[in-house]
Protein backbone atom coordinates (compact mmCIF):
# COMPACT_ATOMS: atom_id res chain seq x y z
CA UNK A 1 0.00 0.00 0.00
CA UNK A 2 2.50 2.58 -1.19
CA UNK A 3 -0.14 5.30 -1.52
CA UNK A 4 -1.02 5.23 2.21
CA UNK A 5 0.44 8.23 4.06
CA UNK A 6 -1.66 8.14 7.22
CA UNK A 7 -3.59 5.75 9.45
CA UNK A 8 -6.79 6.57 11.33
CA UNK A 9 -7.24 4.25 14.29
CA UNK A 10 -10.18 3.56 16.57
CA UNK A 11 -9.14 2.96 20.18
CA UNK A 12 -11.69 0.83 22.06
CA UNK A 13 -11.56 -2.73 20.78
CA UNK A 14 -8.67 -2.00 18.39
CA UNK A 15 -5.76 -0.81 20.52
CA UNK A 16 -7.26 -1.58 23.92
CA UNK A 17 -10.14 -3.18 25.81
CA UNK A 18 -10.98 -1.41 29.08
CA UNK A 19 -7.76 0.58 28.47
CA UNK A 20 -5.58 -2.53 28.58
CA UNK A 21 -3.49 -2.98 25.40
CA UNK A 22 -4.42 -5.78 23.05
CA UNK A 23 -1.60 -8.21 22.16
CA UNK A 24 0.89 -6.70 19.72
CA UNK A 25 -0.90 -3.34 19.46
CA UNK A 26 1.83 -1.25 21.13
CA UNK A 27 4.52 -2.71 18.88
CA UNK A 28 2.38 -2.34 15.74
CA UNK A 29 1.75 1.35 16.40
CA UNK A 30 5.47 1.86 17.00
CA UNK A 31 6.24 0.27 13.60
CA UNK A 32 3.69 2.48 11.85
CA UNK A 33 5.17 5.63 13.37
CA UNK A 34 8.72 4.49 12.57
CA UNK A 35 7.69 4.15 8.91
CA UNK A 36 6.83 7.85 8.89
CA UNK A 37 3.07 7.44 8.52
CA UNK A 38 0.76 9.99 10.07
CA UNK A 39 -1.43 8.74 12.92
CA UNK A 40 -4.77 9.97 14.25
CA UNK A 41 -6.63 8.17 17.00
CA UNK A 42 -10.30 8.70 16.18
CA UNK A 43 -12.79 7.69 18.81
CA UNK A 44 -16.43 8.07 19.78
CA UNK A 45 -15.40 7.64 23.42
CA UNK A 46 -17.38 9.98 25.66
CA UNK A 47 -16.10 8.94 29.09
CA UNK A 48 -12.74 10.75 28.91
CA UNK A 49 -11.22 13.94 27.57
CA UNK A 50 -8.52 13.94 24.90
CA UNK A 51 -5.84 14.55 27.53
CA UNK A 52 -7.16 11.75 29.74
CA UNK A 53 -7.28 9.34 26.78
CA UNK A 54 -3.68 10.15 25.84
CA UNK A 55 -2.57 9.71 29.44
CA UNK A 56 -4.28 6.30 29.70
CA UNK A 57 -2.76 5.13 26.42
CA UNK A 58 0.71 6.35 27.35
CA UNK A 59 0.39 4.49 30.64
CA UNK A 60 -0.39 1.34 28.64
CA UNK A 61 2.79 1.77 26.59
CA UNK A 62 1.53 3.60 23.49
CA UNK A 63 3.63 6.52 22.24
CA UNK A 64 0.84 9.07 21.84
CA UNK A 65 -0.08 12.55 23.02
CA UNK A 66 -3.33 14.51 23.26
CA UNK A 67 -2.58 16.06 19.86
CA UNK A 68 -2.94 12.60 18.29
CA UNK A 69 -6.49 12.13 19.61
CA UNK A 70 -9.66 13.31 17.87
CA UNK A 71 -12.82 12.68 19.87
CA UNK A 72 -16.47 12.96 18.95
CA UNK A 73 -17.13 15.29 21.94
CA UNK A 74 -14.42 17.71 20.74
CA UNK A 75 -15.94 17.77 17.25
CA UNK A 76 -19.38 18.24 18.80
CA UNK A 77 -18.15 21.29 20.70
CA UNK A 78 -16.69 22.79 17.51
CA UNK A 79 -19.94 22.15 15.65
CA UNK A 80 -22.03 23.77 18.39
CA UNK A 81 -19.77 26.82 18.48
CA UNK A 82 -20.02 27.26 14.70
CA UNK A 83 -23.67 26.42 14.07
CA UNK A 84 -25.36 27.19 17.41
CA UNK A 85 -23.34 30.06 18.90
CA UNK A 86 -24.52 30.96 22.38
CA UNK A 87 -26.96 28.03 22.51
CA UNK A 88 -28.02 26.61 25.87
CA UNK A 89 -27.14 22.91 25.85
CA UNK A 90 -28.38 20.08 28.08
CA UNK A 91 -25.74 17.34 28.13
CA UNK A 92 -26.70 13.72 28.80
CA UNK A 93 -23.46 11.80 29.19
CA UNK A 94 -21.71 9.31 31.45
CA UNK A 95 -18.24 10.67 32.24
CA UNK A 96 -16.67 14.10 32.59
CA UNK A 97 -15.90 15.62 29.18
CA UNK A 98 -16.48 19.28 30.02
CA UNK A 99 -12.81 20.11 29.40
CA UNK A 100 -13.36 19.23 25.73
CA UNK A 101 -16.55 21.30 25.54
CA UNK A 102 -14.93 24.70 26.03
CA UNK A 103 -17.15 27.63 25.11
CA UNK A 104 -20.37 25.62 25.28
CA UNK A 105 -23.07 26.80 27.70
CA UNK A 106 -24.32 23.81 29.69
CA UNK A 107 -27.67 24.14 31.48
CA UNK A 108 -30.13 21.98 33.41
CA UNK A 109 -33.32 23.59 32.13
CA UNK A 110 -34.79 25.27 29.05
CA UNK A 111 -32.06 24.14 26.61
CA UNK A 112 -31.94 25.03 22.94
CA UNK A 113 -30.08 21.80 22.17
CA UNK A 114 -30.15 18.35 23.77
CA UNK A 115 -26.71 16.71 23.45
CA UNK A 116 -26.65 12.93 23.91
CA UNK A 117 -23.22 11.50 24.72
CA UNK A 118 -22.27 8.04 25.99
CA UNK A 119 -24.57 5.91 28.13
CA UNK A 120 -24.04 4.75 31.69
CA UNK A 121 -25.91 4.71 35.02
CA UNK A 122 -26.98 8.31 34.42
CA UNK A 123 -29.28 7.18 31.57
CA UNK A 124 -32.19 6.28 33.81
CA UNK A 125 -35.90 6.86 33.21
CA UNK A 126 -35.90 10.31 34.82
CA UNK A 127 -33.03 11.57 32.65
CA UNK A 128 -34.44 10.19 29.40
CA UNK A 129 -37.90 11.52 30.19
CA UNK A 130 -36.39 14.95 30.90
CA UNK A 131 -34.65 14.88 27.51
CA UNK A 132 -37.94 13.82 25.91
CA UNK A 133 -39.65 16.82 27.51
CA UNK A 134 -37.02 19.23 26.17
CA UNK A 135 -37.45 17.82 22.66
CA UNK A 136 -41.23 18.15 22.85
CA UNK A 137 -40.74 21.83 23.68
CA UNK A 138 -38.66 22.40 20.56
CA UNK A 139 -35.05 21.71 21.52
CA UNK A 140 -32.77 20.36 18.77
CA UNK A 141 -31.28 16.88 19.18
CA UNK A 142 -27.54 16.39 18.72
CA UNK A 143 -25.83 13.02 19.26
CA UNK A 144 -22.12 12.58 19.87
CA UNK A 145 -22.47 9.12 18.28
CA UNK A 146 -24.96 6.33 17.51
CA UNK A 147 -23.07 3.38 19.01
CA UNK A 148 -25.47 0.68 20.20
CA UNK A 149 -22.87 -1.08 22.36
CA UNK A 150 -19.15 -1.40 23.08
CA UNK A 151 -16.90 -4.06 24.57
CA UNK A 152 -15.36 -3.90 28.04
CA UNK A 153 -13.60 -6.51 30.15
CA UNK A 154 -17.10 -7.51 31.31
CA UNK A 155 -18.30 -8.10 27.73
CA UNK A 156 -20.61 -6.09 25.48
CA UNK A 157 -22.30 -3.14 27.21
CA UNK A 158 -25.30 -1.13 26.02
CA UNK A 159 -24.52 2.37 24.72
CA UNK A 160 -26.53 5.51 24.06
CA UNK A 161 -27.47 4.67 20.47
CA UNK A 162 -30.11 2.31 21.82
CA UNK A 163 -31.70 5.11 23.84
CA UNK A 164 -31.28 7.61 21.02
CA UNK A 165 -33.53 5.50 18.80
CA UNK A 166 -36.27 5.69 21.41
CA UNK A 167 -35.95 9.46 21.85
CA UNK A 168 -36.11 10.02 18.10
CA UNK A 169 -39.17 7.82 17.72
CA UNK A 170 -41.02 9.23 20.72
CA UNK A 171 -40.29 12.90 19.99
CA UNK A 172 -40.60 12.47 16.20
CA UNK A 173 -37.23 14.10 15.55
CA UNK A 174 -33.98 12.97 13.95
CA UNK A 175 -30.67 13.50 15.69
CA UNK A 176 -27.75 15.20 14.02
CA UNK A 177 -24.79 12.88 14.62
CA UNK A 178 -21.26 14.21 15.10
CA UNK A 179 -19.05 11.16 15.66
CA UNK A 180 -18.31 8.19 13.42
CA UNK A 181 -19.77 7.40 10.89
CA UNK A 182 -20.38 11.10 10.18
CA UNK A 183 -18.36 12.22 7.12
CA UNK A 184 -17.46 15.41 9.02
CA UNK A 185 -15.64 13.36 11.65
CA UNK A 186 -13.43 11.57 9.12
CA UNK A 187 -12.87 14.77 7.15
CA UNK A 188 -11.67 16.51 10.30
CA UNK A 189 -9.14 13.72 10.86
CA UNK A 190 -7.91 13.94 7.26
CA UNK A 191 -7.55 17.71 7.55
CA UNK A 192 -5.54 17.36 10.74
CA UNK A 193 -3.17 14.90 9.05
CA UNK A 194 -2.98 16.87 5.80
CA UNK A 195 -3.83 13.94 3.55
CA UNK A 196 -6.49 13.10 0.99
CA UNK A 197 -9.00 10.31 1.58
CA UNK A 198 -7.29 7.98 -0.90
CA UNK A 199 -4.02 8.37 1.05
CA UNK A 200 -5.51 7.17 4.34
CA UNK A 201 -6.45 3.92 6.03
CA UNK A 202 -9.12 3.55 8.75
CA UNK A 203 -8.81 0.68 11.24
CA UNK A 204 -11.80 -0.21 13.43
CA UNK A 205 -13.81 -2.96 15.10
CA UNK A 206 -17.22 -1.52 14.17
CA UNK A 207 -17.93 -2.34 10.53
CA UNK A 208 -20.66 0.28 10.08
CA UNK A 209 -19.37 3.25 12.10
CA UNK A 210 -15.63 2.79 11.65
CA UNK A 211 -15.01 0.95 8.42
CA UNK A 212 -17.93 1.50 6.04
CA UNK A 213 -18.34 5.09 7.24
CA UNK A 214 -14.74 5.77 6.23
CA UNK A 215 -15.02 3.88 2.95
CA UNK A 216 -18.01 5.99 1.90
CA UNK A 217 -15.76 9.05 1.64
CA UNK A 218 -12.92 7.21 -0.10
CA UNK A 219 -10.76 6.05 2.83
CA UNK A 220 -9.52 2.45 2.69
CA UNK A 221 -11.22 0.46 5.48
CA UNK A 222 -9.71 -2.27 7.64
CA UNK A 223 -11.90 -4.29 10.01
CA UNK A 224 -10.24 -6.07 12.94
CA UNK A 225 -11.66 -9.23 14.53
CA UNK A 226 -11.25 -7.85 18.05
CA UNK A 227 -13.36 -5.67 20.35
CA UNK A 228 -17.03 -5.60 19.37
CA UNK A 229 -16.45 -7.59 16.16
CA UNK A 230 -19.00 -10.36 15.63
CA UNK A 231 -19.17 -12.62 12.55
CA UNK A 232 -22.92 -12.18 12.26
CA UNK A 233 -22.55 -8.39 12.19
CA UNK A 234 -20.07 -8.66 9.33
CA UNK A 235 -22.41 -11.00 7.45
CA UNK A 236 -25.38 -8.63 7.76
CA UNK A 237 -23.49 -5.37 7.19
CA UNK A 238 -24.57 -2.81 4.60
CA UNK A 239 -21.32 -3.31 2.68
CA UNK A 240 -18.03 -5.18 2.63
CA UNK A 241 -14.81 -3.94 4.26
CA UNK A 242 -11.80 -3.43 1.99
CA UNK A 243 -9.71 -5.61 4.32
CA UNK A 244 -10.30 -7.85 7.34
CA UNK A 245 -7.44 -8.79 9.70
CA UNK A 246 -7.32 -10.68 12.97
CA UNK A 247 -6.03 -7.75 15.00
CA UNK A 248 -4.23 -4.42 14.87
CA UNK A 249 -0.98 -6.36 15.30
CA UNK A 250 -1.44 -7.52 11.68
CA UNK A 251 -1.53 -3.98 10.26
CA UNK A 252 2.21 -3.53 9.63
CA UNK A 253 2.17 -6.65 7.45
CA UNK A 254 -0.90 -5.41 5.56
CA UNK A 255 0.91 -2.13 4.94
CA UNK A 256 4.03 -3.94 3.80
CA UNK A 257 6.06 -2.70 6.79
CA UNK A 258 6.75 -6.00 8.53
CA UNK A 259 10.16 -7.53 7.92
How many angstroms separate the CA atoms of 177 and 180, rounded? 8
Cα 146 from Cα 143, distance rounded (Å)? 7
Closest to 114 in 3D by CA, of 50, 49, 176, 180: 176
**151 DSSP β-pair partners:** 156
Contact 220, 245 (CB under 8 A): no
pLDDT value, residue 259: 54
List the beta bridge partners of residue 239: none
pLDDT of residue 258: 63
Positions in the chain short of pLDDT 70: 258-259
Q: Note the pLDDT of residue 99.
A: 80
CATH (one of 3.40.50.1000, 3.90.1150.10, 1.25.40.10, 3.40.50.800) for 16-72+180-226+239-255: 3.40.50.1000
DSSP per-residue codes, 61-108: T----GGGEEEHHHHHHHHHHHHSTT-EEEEE-SS--GGGSTT-EE-S
**What secondary structure does DSSP assign to 174-218, as a single string?**
--EE-STT-HHHHHHHHHHHT--GGGEEEEES-IIIIIIHHHTTT
The confidence score (pLDDT) of residue 155 equals: 85
What pLDDT score does 253 carry? 96
Domain range list for the chain: 16-72+180-226+239-255, 85-177
Distance CA 176, CA 137 (A): 17
Superfamily of domain 85-177: HAD superfamily/HAD-like (3.40.50.1000)
pLDDT at 229: 95
Q: Global pTM?
A: 0.81
**Of the candidates 40, 25, 10, 26, the residue with the CA atom closest to the CA atom of residue 199:** 40
Amino acid sequence: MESVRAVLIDIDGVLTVSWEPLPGAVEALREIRAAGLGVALVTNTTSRTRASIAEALAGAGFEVGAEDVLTAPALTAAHLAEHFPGARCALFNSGDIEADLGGITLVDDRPDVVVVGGAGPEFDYAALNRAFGYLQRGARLLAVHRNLYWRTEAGLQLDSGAFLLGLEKAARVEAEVMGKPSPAFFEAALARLGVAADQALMVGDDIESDVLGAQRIGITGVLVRTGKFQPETLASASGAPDHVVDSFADLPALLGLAQ
